[in-house]
Structure 1
Amino acid sequence: MRANEIVAPRNSDERKAPAQIASWNRLVGFLLIGAGVVVLGFLAQHTSSAGNGTGGQLASHRQAIPIYLGAILMDWALFYYCWSSVHHYGGSLWTLSGGRWLSWKDVLLDMGIMVPFLVIWEGTAYGVSKLMDGTAAPGSAKTVDSLLPQSLIEILIWIATSITAGVCEEMAFRGFLQRQLHALSGNIAVAVLGQGLVFGLFHSYQGWRNVVVISVLGMLYGALVAWRRNLRVNIVAHAFTDVWEGWLKFVVWRVA
């Protein structure tokens, strides 16, 4: 151990807030971006299509591919914002991700962790959704079911969208936001809860009921990275669950 790596006793050092990974102005900017996304989500839910006054953009499957591509663009833009924030502060991509796989043993260990995590994730999603049943008035939020992929090209773009979400959203919310909130508050529980809530609000276009479900799932992802201290399992699990929820589970059900 080098001299500059010597740390204070655990009972004092672990209570200190971790170092921030970007300037506080960048954290404020991230939250302002979130506020803008919430406004756009509200408009997506309440703006009707011209001519029929009922559906809004979320009721038309014709909007599926443009929305997929828009989501990819927004996710990469958010990732770039977080990466550039960390880079200007002297960090790197690994600052956000917590490191990469160094051996096949690491890969197998993470995959072994991912399997039970996916079971917990699915159970949590189902349970929270059931608790939310009946809490929203009919027609209070436009459904996003009409945007799920149907054709081959839509399926391929959906998979690309899911992989993008796995990488970019984990880097942004768990890699950047959770770390910054932890540094600000000095409390990992506050950081996990806070980033989960913001994560849910970024999905406001899906309606407040889904915001609640996604917030809880975001907290679950946050708890995982707080334990593992890297995003490797998170990224793979996030991408897989998006593919599963949007397309793959329907294929499995049809075959079964």
Structure 2
Amino acid sequence: MGFIAQHTATAGNGVAAAGQLASHRQAIPIYLAALVMDWALFYYCWAAVHHYGGSLWTLSGGRWNSWKDVLVDLGIMAPFLIVWEGTAYGVSRLIAGSVGPGSAKTVDSLLPQSLIEILIWIATSITAGICEEMVFRGFLQRQLHALSGNIAVAVLGQGLVFGLFHSYQGWRNVVVISVLGILYGALAVWRRNLRINIVAHAFTDVWEGWLKFIVWHIA
């Protein structure tokens, strides 16, 4: 639906120009819709696991048991974020000009500006970190592994679906996000839990949508 909206024909009144999903005044409703959709997907996956005797920790792979666990995960997350940023930049440059526009206009037009928008954006980012990691790496990746018997197929498959889940951002971003989804999937396989995934995913969403602009402005 997001991809179709990105390619809506120009309406002539500036409300639904081609390649633009919405004007900035629709930012908050779209943030809230994203919140509801992510939690709905999360509930679906949790209900499925719960039906067969699983729990929240079945999806997440477990919680922190000590401060040592927290510090170890934060220590791993730091270099992971560097790899994440380098991968996003490298893939984007690699496919520049060959897979459609670099960034859908919607992405820029819907970034937060006011205080209330920033707060809701942060809440949306935290929601994405929790729900999307549980859905794609906690549920879908394990389902694909069970079906295929091959962890590489599972990681690649969930990464592709994760990228298509973001089709509203334009095809180049779908490619970039698919690769990042594979990176998240590999991290989940290595760590056997989603703790770093959740924190890193939430942070990168906050960073890309708001925080980096603050840092650049101060610098």
TM-score interval (norm. to shorter) = over 0.9
Residue of structure 1 aligned with 2:124, choices 149, 156, 161? 161
Matched residue SS, 2:124: helix
Instruction: For 2:170 and 2:31, locate their aligned partners in 1 and report how far apart those are by CA, in whole Å.
Output: 17
Residues 105-120 of structure 1 mapped to structure 2, 5 A cutoff: 105-120=68-83
Residue of structure 1 aligned with 2:56, choices 72, 76, 93? 93
> Please, which runs of 5 or more residues in structure 2 have no aligned partner?
none
- Give the CA deviation at 1:62: 1.1
Does the Cα contact within 8 Å between 1:48 and 1:57 map onto a contact in 2? no
Instruction: For 1:176 and 1:244, locate their aligned partners in 2 and report how far apart those are by CA, in whole Å.
Output: 26
> Please, which runs of 5 or more residues in structure 1 have no aligned partner?
1-39
Instruction: For 1:253 and 1:217, locate their aligned partners in 2 and report how far apart those are by CA, in whole Å.
Output: 23
Equivalent pairs, count: 217
Residue of structure 2 aligned with 1:204, choices 159, 164, 167? 167
Task: Give the letter for the 2:132 counterpart.
Answer: E
TM-score (norm 2): 0.94
TM-score (norm 1): 0.81
Does the Cα contact within 8 Å between 2:6 and 2:170 map onto a contact in 1? yes
Residues 1:130 and 2:93 aligned together: yes
Q: 1:149 to 1:91 in 2, by over 3 A?
A: same
- Give the CA deviation at 1:136: 4.1
User: RMSD between aligned alpha carbons?
Assistant: 1.7
- Give the CA deviation at 1:140: 9.6
43-52 vs 117-126, greater mean Cα deviation: 43-52
Matched residue SS, 1:58: coil
Does the Cα contact within 8 Å between 1:125 and 1:213 map onto a contact in 2? yes
Tell me the equivalent position of 1:60. 23
Does the Cα contact within 8 Å between 1:58 and 1:147 map onto a contact in 2? no
- Give the CA deviation at 1:142: 3.9
Residue of structure 1 aligned with 2:6, choices 45, 52, 55? 45
Matched residue SS, 2:92: helix
Does the Cα contact within 8 Å between 1:201 and 1:215 map onto a contact in 2? yes
Instruction: For 2:165 and 2:107, locate their aligned partners in 1 and report how far apart those are by CA, in whole Å.
Output: 15
Residue of structure 2 aligned with 1:186, choices 131, 143, 149? 149
Task: Give the letter for the 2:98 counterpart.
Answer: T
Residues 140-179 of structure 1 mapped to structure 2, 5 A cutoff: 141-179=104-142
Q: 1:152 to 1:185 in 2, by over 3 A?
A: same
Matched residue SS, 1:144: helix
Instruction: For 1:104 and 1:54, locate their aligned partners in 2 and report how far apart those are by CA, in whole Å.
Output: 51
Tell me the equivalent position of 2:37. 74
Q: 1:204 to 1:137 in 2, by over 3 A?
A: closer
Q: 1:106 to 1:252 in 2, by over 3 A?
A: same
Q: 1:74 to 1:106 in 2, by over 3 A?
A: same
Q: Deviations over 1:125-153 (max 9, x none)?
A: 11011112112456995441111111111
Instruction: For 1:49 and 1:83, locate their aligned partners in 2 and report how far apart those are by CA, in whole Å.
Output: 41
Instruction: For 1:249 and 1:204, locate their aligned partners in 2 and report how far apart those are by CA, in whole Å.
Output: 23
The structure whose Rg is larger is 1
Q: 1:112 to 1:155 in 2, by over 3 A?
A: same
Residues 1:83 and 2:40 aligned together: no
Residues 1:217 and 2:180 aligned together: yes
Task: Give the letter for the 2:139 counterpart.
Answer: F
Task: Give the letter for the 1:117 counterpart.
Answer: F
Tell me the equivalent position of 2:217. 254
Q: 1:251 to 1:140 in 2, by over 3 A?
A: closer
Q: 1:245 to 1:140 in 2, by over 3 A?
A: closer
